[in-house]
């Protein structure tokens, strides 16, 4: 059967771009690659893949959808800076944002599976961008298993959920209608899932939800996670726990002034560089426990901003359409006192 690796990615900073880069470099020449991402992808990575689909929509669930959510905020004394684009180490992710990534994760999965089927592939190996593998032998083994099964997933017995970083499906077993992504339908079903008394944490919730959708009237083989652990690992950037993170935010004021806000949460000086339109660079040194707020231009001039922390890219913003600008304003706000 003709198979393909479907890589789902979200790489807003250099660290996560490098994780994706390592995966595509390894797979290139061994398997065809379809990359689906919610962030722009560097040219050198695109040269490693056969097909690429960029999905600008990265809608996260919030309280308006009847889901738990959180805002990062900083009170300057005169104003409150608020953002939904910040991960930070003190956020109670497990209780404050249950399944908040459900929409972009399912979009990546079902859009990707549909694209792979449209391209004529028989089997799609779904892999998350931060996976580390040393051989594709396990994929070839699963190809044979899919001759008599509709899907292969890996079960984590002690946690009672499926593994999310890898799974594979026989696309010939699914119609395009079964692979259709329907926002309202998924939201309704996910809402009902959250009401169940057994749902007490976010770990594995989205993965199990996707597998349940793919298992309807299908023969899905559940393999033990130990079989996958031997050949695939994850270097997941769990920023809320593993990494110190410096909040850097771009704000758009009512008069269309574009403002940079940065706060140093570390115990040493940091240097933040704000690159505007790939031509104008502004450097700011921020001392420990201090913050800075600087105007960098207006929207009629600023259409792209890349932020570097100590020379490493951490964020990229594009303000080339009204839709992008309005979406950004809703997620990043200044509240005057």
77 pLDDT tier (thresholds 50, 70, 90):
confident
CA 60 to chain centre: 10
Q: CA 103, CA 64: separation in Å to the nearest integer?
A: 14
Helix (H, G, I), strand (E, B) or coil at 232: strand
The mean of the pLDDT values for the chain is 85
CA 39 to chain centre: 8
280 pLDDT tier (thresholds 50, 70, 90):
very high
CATH 1.10.3470 fits 85-95+246-336, yes or no: no
Instruction: Kindly report the number of other CB atoms within 10 A of residue 147's CB atom.
Output: 10
Instruction: Kindly report the number of other CB atoms within 10 A of residue 311's CB atom.
Output: 8
Q: Which of 68-77, 141-150, 207-216, 308-317 is the least confident region? A: 68-77
Q: Which of 39-43, 196-200, 304-308, 319-323 is the least confident region? A: 196-200
Looking at residue 68, its pLDDT comes to 42
Looking at residue 70, its pLDDT comes to 54
Extract the tokens encoding 252.
């758009």
Looking at residue 61, its pLDDT comes to 67
| Percentage of the residues of the chain whose pLDDT score is greater than 70 | 84
Q: What are phi and psi of 76, to 5 degrees?
A: -85, -10
pLDDT mean over 54-68: 64
pLDDT tens digits, residue range 90-135?
333 333 345 667 888 999 999 999 999 999 999 999 999 999 998 9
- Of residues 195 and 168, the one with the higher pLDDT is 168
| Residue reference for tokens 């292969």 | 152
pLDDT tens digits, residue range 243-269?
456 788 999 999 999 999 999 888 899
Q: CA 247, CA 144: separation in Å to the nearest integer?
A: 47
CA 173 → CA 72, 123, 149, 214, 215, distances in Å? 44, 10, 9, 10, 11
Q: Do 290 and 276 form a contact (C-beta atoms < 8 A)?
A: no
pLDDT tens digits, residue range 301-331?
999 999 998 888 888 899 999 988 998 998 8
CATH 1.10.3720.10 fits 3-59+99-234, yes or no: no
Q: Do 259 and 295 form a contact (C-beta atoms < 8 A)?
A: yes
Looking at residue 312, its pLDDT comes to 83
Q: CA 30, CA 112: separation in Å to the nearest integer?
A: 19
Q: CA 31, CA 196: separation in Å to the nearest integer?
A: 40
Domains of the chain by residue range:
3-59+99-234, 85-95+246-336
Q: Do 332 and 319 form a contact (C-beta atoms < 8 A)?
A: no
Looking from the CA of 86 toward its CB, the CA atoms found within 13 Å total 26
Q: Do 206 and 226 form a contact (C-beta atoms < 8 A)?
A: no
Extract the tokens encoding 333.
């706000």
Looking at residue 89, its pLDDT comes to 35
Find all residues with CB under 8 Å of 15, minimum gap 6, and list them: 237, 312
Closest CA to 316 of 71, 43, 127, 39: 39
Closest CA to 248 of 202, 310, 300: 310
Q: CA 255, CA 239: separation in Å to the nearest integer?
A: 33
């Amino acid at each position: 059967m003709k198979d393909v690796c479907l890589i789902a990615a979200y790489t807003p900073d250099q660290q996560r771009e490098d994780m994706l880069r390592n995966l595509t470099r390894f797979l290139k020449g061994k398997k065809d690659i379809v990359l689906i991402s919610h962030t722009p992808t560097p040219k050198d990575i695109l040269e490693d893949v056969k097909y690429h689909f960029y999905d600008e929509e990265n809608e996260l669930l919030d309280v308006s959808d009847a889901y738990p959510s959180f805002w990062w905020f900083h009170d300057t004394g005169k104003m409150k800076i608020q953002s939904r684009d910040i991960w930070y180490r003190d956020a109670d992710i497990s209780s404050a944002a249950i399944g908040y990534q459900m929409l972009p994760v399912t979009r990546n999965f079902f859009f990707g599976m549909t694209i792979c089927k449209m391209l004529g592939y028989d089997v799609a190996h779904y892999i998350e961008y931060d996976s580390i593998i040393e051989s594709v032998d396990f994929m070839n083994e699963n190809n044979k298993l899919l001759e008599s099964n509709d899907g292969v997933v890996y079960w984590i017995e002690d946690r009672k959920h499926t593994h999310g970083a890898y799974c594979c499906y026989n696309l010939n077993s699914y119609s395009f209608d079964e692979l259709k992504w329907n926002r309202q339908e998924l939201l309704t079903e996910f809402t009902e899932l959250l009401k169940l008394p057994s749902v007490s944490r976010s770990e594995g919730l989205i993965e199990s939800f996707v597998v349940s959708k793919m298992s309807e009237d299908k023969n899905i083989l559940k393999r033990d996670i130990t079989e996958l652990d031997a050949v695939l690992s994850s270097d997941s950037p769990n920023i809320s726990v593993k990494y110190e993170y410096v909040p850097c935010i771009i704000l758009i004021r009512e008069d269309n002034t574009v403002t940079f806000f940065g706060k140093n949460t570390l115990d040493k000086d940091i240097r933040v560089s704000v690159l505007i339109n790939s031509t104008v660079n502004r450097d700011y040194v921020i001392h420990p426990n201090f913050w800075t707020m600087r105007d960098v231009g207006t929207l009629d001039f600023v259409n792209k901003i890349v932020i570097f922390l100590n020379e490493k890219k951490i964020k990229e913003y594009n303000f080339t359409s009204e839709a992008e600008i309005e979406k950004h304003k809703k997620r990043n706000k200044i509240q005057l006192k």
